[in-house]
Amino acid sequence: MDRRPGASRGAPVNRNGVERTADSALFDGYLEPDRPHPDAYDEMFDADGTVRAPYRQLHDAIAPTAAADLTVRSEALDRAYLDQGITFSLSGKERPFPLDIVPRVISSAEWNKLQRGIVQRVKALEAFLADVYGDAQIVRDGVLPRRLITSCEHFKRSAHQLNPPNGVRIHVAGIDLVRDAEGTFRVLEDNLRNPSGVSYVMENRRTMARVFPDLFTRQRVRAVGDYSTHLLHALRVAAAPNVADPTVVVLTPGVYNSAYFEHSLLARQMGVELVEGRDLFCRDNIVYMRTTEGEQRVDVVYRRIDDDFLDPLQFKPTSVLGVAGIMNAARAGNVVIANAVGNGVGDDKLVYTYVPDMIKYYLDEKPVLPNVSTFRCWLDEECGHVIDTLDELVLKPVEGSGGYGILFGPNASRKELADARKSIRADPRGWIAQPVVQLSTVPTRVDDRLVPRHVDLRPFAVNDGENVFVLPGGLTRVALPKGSLVVNSSQGGGSKDTWVLAPNRAPEAERELGQAGLASPIGPVQAPAAEHGPELTIGQQQQQQQQQQGCDD
């Protein structure tokens, strides 16, 4: 337990930690004063260059590494992804998803707070969605204007009074967090529709464990491999109560979707069918799947297609991706759509600014995680401020995702600013503005050095109606270009394995073992076997299939 990882490798050991600084060759010039955004919070080093506590073991392990070794290992990481065929498309070119070799570390105490904050947020947003698609009591009580909801593009009137059997609408949430210059985690946005990226969390861990098995033997890192177990559990309990053994499917738009890999991974890990719209049909408000053995009734659809394409009878009539009639089947209580239709009203970026009010209203609690301060262009007084100081702000469209349509005021040309002001005046409801958040930095490999690069964090939460499970970890996205604050993979970002350190007294089962078992997609199941019986069985079968597949490769 008290092993000093650095010692065996001959690295300088510093028991008090004070001298453990950025002096290794890898970190040469890491904290150079003229770097962009020098005020940003660096997660490994404090202002004096001392290594922060959660990173000490990691730092000691990698600091003595020779630069050449770093490059070799990093190439091995890239190859691991290419070998599995995991790529993503950037401007039409398929590239391996860049995984950086330095993990991002979150201490047990930090994580506890994040977890509490995320659970609180998901609960408040669940209450909000139930309210908005019910009697809208929050509007009657004057906490929110009705206009805020009705003007939201993703407010789906066809989901009105459509109440899921166990009340859950947010089966999966991705809460995007950033860390400001003081080191405080803040919520940047909520993703309640089809948050994607969890496959990278699992694959990043699997790959890191393969290439750096030694790192995991020194650290107590919490496992992320059991995500699918939790997801399957949440989907099964979401089914109507009179269904004894619910059939769950994953509905994908198809192989051309950028997240298809994730859809297939989740379906495989859960041991359920991966289907497209044409594989399903509704008859008399019951959803069936076409199989080689005839029709099979479907009880829960984990759909990874957008609302507008889900049901051509209710939404876009031209959509061929969805299932005609599925909304009425859900309304009749014969199928559960996960995540629920209309969740977008909860993750609208203007609605986001009211989430602290919702937490107070529904839970009577104080927000554990603060928002990023935000100016709302639809309020006249705040709009004026945005127009006047646009060159210092980040302007975002309320409906946007993937980093599209964002304007960085400080980098924008006069013309861009003028155009943006025109857009704001034309549609004040469509825009919010935030001060530039100097995202925290984590050492990241660029060539044969480690340099500070900005990161964010998307943890994933799964709500089964009783508990909100937050996967310990999450997707850390890193902006690879120097000084860039845009982390979206569609804008040239990469990712990092995210380590949540286990508390010292955690049972052994909860930590990542760094052994062969780690590479299996299903990690240890912590809950009593009785409750997880069926899932566990499926998990074991799945594991076998996985290994067979490995042999074929």
Nearer to another protein, 141 or 508 (CB): 141
Centre a 10 Å sphere on the Cβ of residue 461 and count the other Cβ atoms it contains: 23
Nearer to another protein, 305 or 501 (CB): 305
Nearer to another protein, 154 or 206 (CB): 154
Least distance to another protein from the beta carbon of 158, Å? Answer: 7
Nearer to another protein, 380 or 392 (CB): 380
Least distance to another protein from the beta carbon of 194, Å? Answer: 23
Least distance to another protein from the beta carbon of 283, Å? Answer: 6
435 touches 408 (CB < 8 A): no
- DSSP class of residue 49 equals S
d(CA 195, CA 474): 12
Nearer to another protein, 260 or 281 (CB): 281
Centre a 10 Å sphere on the Cβ of residue 379 and count the other Cβ atoms it contains: 14
| Beta strands at 468-470 and 248-251: parallel, antiparallel or unpaired | unpaired
Nearer to another protein, 219 or 328 (CB): 328
Give the position of tokens 């107070």: 360
Least distance to another protein from the beta carbon of 439, Å? Answer: 37
- Residues near another protein (CB under 8 A): 145-147, 150-151, 157-158, 160-161, 281-285, 312-313, 317, 324-325, 328, 331-332
Nearer to another protein, 91 or 161 (CB): 161
Nearer to another protein, 340 or 455 (CB): 340
Q: 542, 532, 510: which is closest to 224 by C-alpha?
A: 510
Give the contacts of 377 (CB within 8 A, at least 6 positions apart). Answer: 383, 386, 424, 428, 429, 430, 431, 432, 433
Q: 273, 229, 277: which is closest to 257 by C-alpha?
A: 277
Q: 27, 67, 92: which is closest to 448 by C-alpha?
A: 67
d(CA 473, CA 105): 9
Q: 223, 194, 203: which is closest to 85 by C-alpha?
A: 203
d(CA 91, CA 517): 37
Least distance to another protein from the beta carbon of 364, Å? Answer: 25
Nearer to another protein, 148 or 470 (CB): 148
Nearer to another protein, 145 or 481 (CB): 145
248 touches 270 (CB < 8 A): yes
- Please give the full DSSP string across 317-379, using - where no structure is assigned: TT-SSS-TTHHHHHHTTS-EEESPTTTHHHH-HHHHTTHHHHIIIII----SSPBPP-EETTS
CA distances in angstroms from 351 to 126, 293, 295, 371, listed in the order given: 14, 46, 42, 12
Least distance to another protein from the beta carbon of 151, Å? Answer: 7
Least distance to another protein from the beta carbon of 171, Å? Answer: 23
Nearer to another protein, 150 or 291 (CB): 150
Least distance to another protein from the beta carbon of 173, Å? Answer: 25
Least distance to another protein from the beta carbon of 154, Å? Answer: 15
The stretches of 155-238 forming alpha helices (DSSP H) are 198-211, 213-218, 227-238
Nearer to another protein, 161 or 504 (CB): 161
Nearer to another protein, 105 or 305 (CB): 305
Least distance to another protein from the beta carbon of 328, Å? Answer: 5
Residue 287, phi then psi, degrees to nearest 5: -95, 130
Least distance to another protein from the beta carbon of 341, Å? Answer: 13
d(CA 190, CA 213): 34
500 touches 118 (CB < 8 A): no
- Tell me the chain's radius of gyration from C-alpha atoms: 24
Q: 70, 352, 54, 427: which is closest to 187 by C-alpha?
A: 352
Residue 468, phi then psi, degrees to nearest 5: -105, 115
Give the contacts of 210 (CB within 8 A, at least 6 positions apart). Answer: 80, 519
Least distance to another protein from the beta carbon of 258, Å? Answer: 28
Least distance to another protein from the beta carbon of 334, Å? Answer: 10
